[in-house]
Chain A
Amino acid sequence: MKAATALLALSLAAVASAMASGGGQRDDDERGRAAALDPTYVEECGACHVAYPPELLSRDSWTAVVGQLGRHFGVDASLDTALAAEINAYLQAQAGVYATDDSEGQPLLRITETDWFRHAHRPGEDGLYRGVFDSEAVRSPSNCGACHLGAARGRYGEDEIRIP
């Protein structure tokens, strides 16, 4: 599990640094397109929060999330079954390869509760401080876009981070 977490972190770091490397505007657009999220996914899962990167949860976790959209973290995010199935198929295809389970072996519903997220966002890391997620400007760790300026387009590179 530890190794898996490290590998996951590594592959994300690779993605992040691939996104951060290079220079000109044109390159930037090309990278943006390469990393583009599915438009249906963005429209349906990016209205209340940014559309989260599919690779940050496992297939089991996504199945659990999409299976209970009527009661989704305290709000109603229900979708008709055909659309929910289409989105789940996309998430299954793009999901991370490592388990994102809790200590009981149940799939986590939150990226922000994974070991990887906690580690990458621990206080002291690159300007992150204790309580930053409760600040008025951020409000929740799930509010990726508060710090990752390209989050709405699925971009989490180091050059696009600003802690409010």
Chain B
Amino acid sequence: METIRACVVVVAAMVAAPAWAERPADFLQRFEAEARGADAAFSASAERGRNWFESRHGRDWSCSTCHTKDPAVSGRHEVTGKSIDPMAPGINAERLRSARQVSKWFRRNCRDVLGRECSAAEKADVVAWLIAAAPSTGDGQ
């Protein structure tokens, strides 16, 4: 009886869990597929993503200026000083969960850092790096 009750609780929790519209891996797949439209041989690389994330692209900032080089730790907005939660979905369960948030922030931050929007290949690499950078909670794969 106790076991059954425990199971019911677990199942209820599992049913309640997918409050998230999307999983981090969905974004990797989506950007990778989009990048293959331009280059059929494209395959996302976390290592390339890491380098790109840490590099400046002709302007004052890199992504790591606000997000730090370590996606597992909190960052700080370069201008306002406000703290920014960690970027790795394995550490911060709210990351890479909403298509609206992801596209809004890529659009804004890429314009600030590169002066243009990012390509699908660049986004695929960054997402691969953020997922690889910290151990996953298990449900993001």
Q: Do A and B come from one complex?
A: yes
> B-contacting residues of A (Cβ < 8 Å)?
48-50, 73-79, 138-140, 142-143, 145-146
Name B's interface SS.
Answer: helix
Q: Which residues of A contact B108 (CB under 8 A)?
A: 75-78
Could you show 18 A-B contacts with beta carbons less than 8 Å apart?
A48-B77, A48-B79, A49-B77, A50-B82, A73-B79, A74-B79, A75-B108, A76-B109, A76-B111, A78-B107, A78-B108, A139-B81, A140-B79, A140-B80, A142-B80, A143-B81, A145-B82, A146-B81
Name A's interface SS.
Answer: loop
Give CA–CA (A50, B83) in the complex, Å.
Answer: 10
Query: Does B70 sit within 8 A of A, measured CB to CB?
Result: no
Number of A-B contacts (CB under 8 A): 34
Q: A76-B107, A76-B109 are in contact. List 7 more A-B contacts (CB 8 A).
A: A49-B77, A74-B79, A75-B112, A76-B112, A140-B79, A142-B80, A145-B82
Chain B residues bordering chain A, tally (CB within 8 A): 11
Q: Which residues of B contact A145 (CB under 8 A)?
A: 82
> A-contacting residues of B (Cβ < 8 Å)?
77, 79-82, 104, 107-109, 111-112
Chain A nearest CB, measured from B16 CB (Å)? 21
Instruction: Judge whether B82 and A49 touch: CB under 8 Å.
Output: yes
Give CA–CA (A75, B66) in the complex, Å.
Answer: 12
Q: Which residues of A contact B112 (CB under 8 A)?
A: 75-76
Q: Which residues of B contact A138 (CB under 8 A)?
A: 81
Q: Which residues of A contact B107 (CB under 8 A)?
A: 76, 78
Q: Which residues of B contact A75 (CB under 8 A)?
A: 79, 108, 112
